Amino acid sequence: MFKWRTIIAASCIATAAGAADDASGRLGIGHVATIHEIAASDLTVFPDGAGLPDGKGTAIAGAAVYATHCAACHGDKGQGLADFPALVGGRGTLATGKPLLTVGSYWPYATTIFDYIRRAMPYQSAGELSADNVYALTAWILAQNNIIKTSTVIDRKTLPKVAMPNKDGFVPDPRPDIPSTH
Amino acid sequence: MSRDEAASYTDLMPSGKARRFTYEMEANSVIVRPSGGQQLDGRGFHEISGLAWSGRGKIARVDISADAGRTWRDAELQGPVHSKALTRFRAPWVWSGEEVQLQSRATDETGYVQPTRDALIAIRGMTQGPDGFNHYHGIKPWKVDRDGRVTHV
C-alpha cells in the first residue's frame, strides 16, 4: 500500500512538472490537457470582469435570441413559467416576507449573468451560444429589469460597470448567531 | 461570483439583507427510526436511531428527548466519528402507548448545540432564498400518536 502511494505521488509530481506530456509516459493513462480543452472549461467570470471574452451585444439584439432559446421556459417577458424562475422583477420585495428573488432584484453582480448563461444555458443545449449572443442575452435581461437601456452595448468593459440594484444588499456570514444551550 | 454563490450560498434575512458566502451547515441531526410515515408495531421496547452531522467538525454528542424537549438523555454514537461526516446515533426507548414527541439534538466539537426551530426562526425568519431555505438545522420533532403512527410535527 505504501509503495503504491509513493508511485502515485511521484507520478503526480512528474505530471505537474510537465515530464509526462505524452501517452507513452510511465503509466500511459490520459494526456496533458490541451490549451483548447482548458479553454473549454475555463469559464469563470469574476465581478471585476476578469474572464469575460471578446464580443458584444445589446438588448435589441438579445430580444430575438431570447425568444428563440429562452422564452419557452422563462416566459416571453422573463416572468418565469412553472418551475422555471423569473428573470425579471421583484425590486422592493426583499424585506416583505414574500420576496421575488430574480437576477434583477437579488444578484449583486451583472457579470454573474454572463457566467451562468455561458456555462449552463440553454438548459437542453448548454454551450451552444456564441459570446455575442450571451452578451446580447445579458443585455436583454438587464434592460428588461430597467437596469440599462435597450441600446446600451454590453461587452467585457461595460458589463462589470453595471450597478446592480441589490449590490449593497449582502452582509458577511455572522454565524453562529443563535443562542442555544443544553 | 457564480450563480450558486449568489443563490445557494446566501441566506436572505427578514430585514431584506442577505448573508453571503454561507457555506457550512451547523450542527444538525434527525431521527430516522422512527420517523414520519412509519408505524410502531406496539408499545414496549424500540431503538431510536438516526444521523447527526456538522460542517464545523466532528459530532461530539447527541441527546434524545421523548417528551417534546423537556428532558434529555445521551444517545450512543457509533464510530468511526469523522469531521463533517454523517454520524450514526442510537438510544433505547420504551413506548408507553401514549402520544409522545421524539427529538434529537446534536452538539459538535466546537461546543455548538443544535437549536430548536423556534430559536432559529426567531432570528433568521422563514424567508426562502432563490434555492429555498438553505441552512435549516433546527431540531426536527416527530409525533407518535396512540396508534403508533409517526408524523412530522
Position A22 scores a pLDDT of: 52
Cβ neighbours for B143, distance < 8 A, ≥ 6 positions apart? B99, B100, B101, B150, B151, B152, B153
Give residue ranges of B with CB < 8 Å to any A CB.
Answer: 1-3, 5-7, 10, 12, 14-24, 26, 63, 72, 107, 112-116, 119-120, 123-125, 127, 129-130
Q: What is the mean pLDDT of residues A117-139?
A: 96
* Nine cell digits for residue B51: 444521523
Position A23 scores a pLDDT of: 55
C-beta separation of B11 from B135 below 8 A: yes
pLDDT digits (tens, 9 = 90+) for A31-80: 899 999 998 889 999 999 999 999 999 999 999 999 999 999 999 999 99
Which CATH code fits A56-161?
Answer: 1.10.760.10
Residue of B nearest to A171 (CA): B19
Taking contacts as CB-CB distances below 8 angstroms, the residues of chain A near B22 are 173, 175
Which residues of chain A form CATH 1.10.760.10? 56-161
How do beta strands B44-53 and B142-144 pair? unpaired
pLDDT digits (tens, 9 = 90+) for A6-30: 444 444 444 444 444 555 667 778 8
Which CATH code fits B25-152?
Answer: 2.60.40.650
**B118 CB-contact burial (10 Å; exposed 0-12 / middle 13-18 / buried 19+):** exposed
Q: Mutate one of B9, B109, B127, B139 to test the A interface: name it (highest A CB count within 10 A).
A: B127
User: What's this model's pTM, rounded to 2 decimal places?
Assistant: 0.83
- Predicted complex ipTM: 0.89
Q: What is the mean pLDDT of residues B4-26?
A: 93
Largest pairwise CA distance in chain A = 64
pLDDT digits (tens, 9 = 90+) for A105-126: 999 999 999 999 999 999 999 9
Average pLDDT, chain B: 96
Which of A16-25, A154-163, B137-146 is least confident?
A16-25
CA distance A15 to B68: 58
Q: Label residue B145 by pLDDT band (50, 70, 90).
A: very high
- Smallest CA–CA distance, residue A19 to chain B, in Å, is 34
Q: What is the mean pLDDT of residues A124-144?
A: 97
pLDDT digits (tens, 9 = 90+) for A165-178: 999 999 999 999 99
- Nearest CB to A170: which of B17, B113, B115? B17
pLDDT digits (tens, 9 = 90+) for B120-139: 999 999 888 888 888 899 99
- Smallest CA–CA distance, residue B41 to chain A, in Å, is 32
C-beta separation of A47 from A114 below 8 A: no
Q: Do B18 and A85 touch (CB under 8 A)?
A: no
Residue with cell 421524539: B102
CA distance B143 to B118: 17
Q: Label residue A2 by pLDDT band (50, 70, 90).
A: very low
Largest pairwise CA distance in chain B = 55
